[in-house]
């Protein structure tokens, strides 16, 4: 299937390994003259993070074909910092991003010791972000939560054909609902992946916003949906935690809007498509994908319990 080069690899590539991604980080460090002795992995997810202790920097290795996204991440972080929002900071005076093969590598200052944000702390940061002026100079895309879902499902050989067909039909249904005006259209700068782990709180107490891969222009409610769904559909948040989130955001409760259910269904389909792509190469992911699909198909009652990946 044809994919947009800025967000998805053009064609298939060899499966990632820890060694292959570490090699990309090493080559990028060599290109810019950064000492990478003692580099160690911090995380291997959609992107991989490596800490380089000698340089006191973190290298972020992006997916193949995601150069434009990596460049936008760095620019968005710098712009948000200029708006007095505390963010994870791109390393100054280093070319950003570096390209190794078809993978971008960006460089970031390490975070101080920290914890994940509470729901109220997350809401406070999101409210400040949503109130910012729209940054025309960044050329941000319009947030499209259904982008590439069909490709991800179609490229997921680790799920059954019946499940694949059902997921594709469901994606088409939700796309029709969105096109028919079931979703709001007002625009603000949105984070696109808002959860407690993408806002961290250092010991000094001032929250720091992380991960700018999905920053775009869209309705602010898209950033409220993950927490709302955690409360309504999953056994993740107590009433008190959700009430604190709503209160810190200013009293707006997305679960009371007419578009909540459509937004929630799209969010849950996104989470399922993500794990379905991993099912062919990870037995845990295959089990989890089957479980999530069973939930979406109504075979398992709510509240659901989904494993994190």
Nearest to 228 by CA among 237, 219, 220: 237
Give the domain-ending residue among 47, 78, 110: 110
Distance CA 192, CA 3 (A): 20
Q: Is residue 91 part of a domain?
A: yes
Question: Domain check: are 129 and 264 in the same one?
Answer: yes
- The pLDDT of residue 47 is 87
Q: Is residue 279 part of a domain?
A: yes
Question: Domain check: are 222 and 128 in the same one?
Answer: yes
- The pLDDT of residue 133 is 95
Task: Label residue 257 exposed, middle or buried (CB < 10 Å: 0-12, 13-18, 19+).
Answer: middle
- The pLDDT of residue 1 is 29
Question: Domain check: are 54 and 136 in the same one?
Answer: no
Q: Which domain holds residue 246?
A: 119-296
Question: Domain check: are 175 and 232 in the same one?
Answer: yes
Task: Label residue 212 exposed, middle or buried (CB < 10 Å: 0-12, 13-18, 19+).
Answer: buried
Q: How many helices (H) and strands (E) in the chain? A: 9, 10
Q: Is residue 178 part of a domain?
A: yes
Q: Please state the pTM of the whole predicted model.
A: 0.89
Contact 180, 37 (CB under 8 A): no
Question: Domain check: are 182 and 245 in the same one?
Answer: yes
Distance CA 150, CA 277 (A): 11
**CATH code where residue 87 lies:** 3.30.200.20
Question: Domain check: are 147 and 59 in the same one?
Answer: no
Within 10 angstroms of residue 24's Cβ, the number of other Cβ atoms is: 24
Question: Domain check: are 129 and 228 in the same one?
Answer: yes
Which residues in the chain come in under a pLDDT of 50? 1-13
**CATH code where residue 245 lies:** 3.90.1200.10
Give the domain-ending residue among 64, 86, 110: 110
- The pLDDT of residue 14 is 52
Question: Domain check: are 48 and 192 in the same one?
Answer: no
Sheet holding 114-116: strands in order across? 114-116, 199-202, 208-209
Question: Domain check: are 126 and 92 in the same one?
Answer: no
Within 10 angstroms of residue 163's Cβ, the number of other Cβ atoms is: 22
Q: Is residue 306 part of a domain?
A: no
Question: Domain check: are 170 and 258 in the same one?
Answer: yes
Q: Is residue 130 part of a domain?
A: yes
Strands 103-108 and 114-116: unpaired
Question: Domain check: are 133 and 68 in the same one?
Answer: no
- The pLDDT of residue 205 is 86
Task: Label residue 214 exposed, middle or buried (CB < 10 Å: 0-12, 13-18, 19+).
Answer: buried
Question: Domain check: are 252 and 269 in the same one?
Answer: yes
* Total domains, the chain: 2
């Amino acid at each position: 299937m044809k994919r947009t080069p800025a967000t998805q690899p053009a064609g298939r590539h060899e499966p990632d390994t820890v060694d292959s991604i570490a090699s990309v980080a090493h080559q990028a460090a060599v290109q810019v003259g950064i000492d990478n002795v003692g580099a160690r992995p911090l995380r291997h997810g959609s992107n991989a993070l490596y800490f380089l202790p000698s340089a006191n920097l973190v290298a972020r290795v992006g997916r193949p074909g995601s150069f434009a996204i990596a460049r936008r991440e760095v620019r968005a972080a710098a712009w948000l910092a200029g708006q007095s929002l505390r963010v994870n900071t791109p390393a100054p005076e280093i070319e950003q991003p570096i390209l190794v093969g078809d993978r971008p590598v960006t460089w970031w200052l390490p975070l101080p010791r920290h914890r994940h944000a509470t729901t109220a702390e997350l809401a406070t940061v999101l409210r400040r972000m949503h109130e910012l002026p729209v940054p025309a100079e960044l050329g941000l895309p319009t947030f499209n939560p259904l982008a590439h879902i069909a490709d991800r499902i179609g490229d997921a050989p680790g799920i059954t054909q019946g499940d694949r067909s059902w997921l594709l039909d469901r994606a088409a249904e939700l796309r029709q609902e969105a096109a028919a005006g079931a979703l709001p259209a007002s625009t603000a700068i949105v984070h696109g992946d808002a959860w407690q782990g993408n806002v961290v709180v250092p010991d000094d107490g001032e929250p720091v916003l992380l991960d700018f891969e999905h920053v775009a222009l869209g309705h602010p409610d898209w950033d409220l949906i993950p927490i709302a769904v955690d409360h309504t559909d999953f056994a993740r948040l107590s009433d008190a935690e959700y009430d604190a989130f709503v209160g810190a955001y200013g009293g707006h409760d997305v679960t009371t809007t007419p578009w909540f259910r459509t937004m929630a269904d799209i969010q849950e389909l996104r989470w399922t498509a993500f794990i379905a792509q991993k099912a062919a190469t990870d037995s845990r992911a295959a089990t989890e994908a089957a479980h999530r699909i069973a939930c979406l198909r109504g075979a398992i009652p709510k509240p659901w319990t989904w494993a994190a990946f």
